[in-house]
Every structure is written in C-alpha cells, then in structure tokens.
Amino acid sequence: MKIVTGVVGNDVHVVANRLIDISLNQRGFEVFNLGVNTYLEEFMDAAVETDADVVLISSLNGEAEGWSRDLPVLKSRYALKDVVFAIGGNLAVGEVESSVIIPKFKLYGFDMVFHQVDLNDGLDMLEAYLKERA
Ligand code: B12
C-alpha cells in the first residue's frame, strides 16, 4: 500500500517524521516521504503522482488548523479517489482536549485524527481502519 507522508506548513520538527518513515516501512507500506516544510498542495500533488492510498500528515508546531482549513477546497480540485487522509502530532496551540480537536479536523476532511497519540498506537489504528474498508 502506498502512503505519502510529511510535516505540513512551516514546520521544521523532523524527528517524528523520521520515526514515521521508519515505522511505515517496517509495517510494509511503500513510503513517499516529503519531509518537513511541506505545503498541503504538495501532499495533493504527490498523492496524484504516486497513486497513493493514504496521505498521513504530521504537525507539531501548532499550525495544523491553519493549514487544514484549505483541505476541503483542495480535495474538490484534485481527482483523488478513496484516499485516506490522516493527521497527527500536536494539533493545537497549548492544551486542547482531543474531544474538541477531532470533530474539527474531521470537518476539514480528515478520516483519522491523532492528537498527541503515540505513534505506534496511531499506526495500529490506521492499519485496522484500512483493513476494515478493504
Ligand atoms: C526539538 C524541538 C524543536 C526543534 C526542532 C528541531 C528539528 N529540526 O526537529 C527547534 C528548536 C527547531 C524547535 C522550534 C520550534 N518549536 Co519546537 N519543540 C521541540 C521539542 C523539544 C521536541 C520535539 C521532538 O523532536 N520530539 C520527539 C518526537 C519523537 O516526538 P513528537 O515530535 O512529539 O512526535 C511524536 C508524536 O507527536 C507522534 N506523532 C507525530 N506526528 C504524528 C502523526 C501521526 C499520524 C501519528 C499517529 C502520530 C504522530 O509520534 C511521534 C513519536 O511518538 C518539542 C517539545 C517536546 N518535548 O515534545 C517542542 C515543540 C514541539 N515545539 C514547539 C514550538 C512552539 C516551536 C516553535 C514555534 C518555537 C518558536 N517560538 O520558535 C518553533 C517552530 C519552528 C517551526 N517553524 O516549526 C511546541 C509546539 C506547541 C504546540 N503545538 O502547541 C513544543 C511542543 C514545545 C512546547 N511545549 O511548547 N522545536
């Protein structure tokens, strides 16, 4: 299964991105890692070019919401069929409950939202979700 990953926006936090790359490879995904400082349009372009099954976005510096607001418009512009969109990391500035964050990001068009969720737990949930919809 093909997966595009990276860190959205002007976000330089690279450590999680490296761990995500390694973990996804170990789980058998074909990984296209766009790295840090990646704009949402670049995720969409990469998803089209690679014919990806999943776009998995990280955000650590608190900018996630600003970037995610563009997702509905971009989704309507790109011909992406059945691509699963997941986002994780620190999705807010400061302390905000997941119960507030998750519905917001789902409205922006994310299928899976992982706010301050352990990476392996999140990837387990992603794999279970992909199996269920297969
Ligand atoms: C190192 C660091 C930096 C370094 C980054 C170096 C680099 N190139 O990577 C430097 C000093 C450059 C930096 C800068 C900034 N940082 Co900084 N940084 C950190 C720090 C100390 C550690 C981050 C790290 O590498 N952790 C180790 C990795 C493995 O953990 P992680 O990033 O949390 O990722 C885990 C999970 O989030 C999860 N995960 C991540 N993505 C995804 C995706 C999915 C789908 C899933 C399931 C899970 C998942 O999996 C990972 C492994 O478990 C954290 C504080 C902390 N203790 O976490 C702050 C922190 C992330 N930084 C923060 C901030 C605010 C900034 C700055 C804005 C500060 C400033 N005013 O300049 C800038 C932003 C620069 C930019 N343009 O992005 C805040 C973010 C706060 C928020 N979101 O509300 C934090 C939390 C510090 C704080 N408590 O305020 N930072």
Atom 36 of ligand 1 has which residue's CA nearest to it?
Answer: 89
CATH assignment at residue 76: 3.40.50.280
Please choose from 60, 63, 93 the residue to mutate so as to test ligand 1's pocket, defined by most ligand atoms within 8 A of CB. 60
- The answer to whether position 68 is within a domain reads yes
User: H or E segment at 125?
Assistant: helix 119-133
Q: Which atom of ligand 1 is nearest to the CA of 112?
A: 45
Read off the amino acid at residue 112: M
- pLDDT tens per residue across span 71-126: 999 999 998 889 999 999 999 999 999 999 999 999 999 999 999 999 999 999 99
- The answer to whether position 38 is within a domain reads yes
- Domain assignment of residue 14, given as a range: 1-51+61-81
- The answer to whether position 6 is within a domain reads yes
What total number of domains does the chain contain?
A: 1
- pLDDT tens per residue across span 82-93: 999 999 999 999
Residue 10 Cβ contacting ligand 1 at under 6 Å:
yes
Predicted TM-score (pTM) of this structure = 0.97
- The answer to whether position 74 is within a domain reads yes
Angle (CA) 103-108-112 rounded to 5° is 60
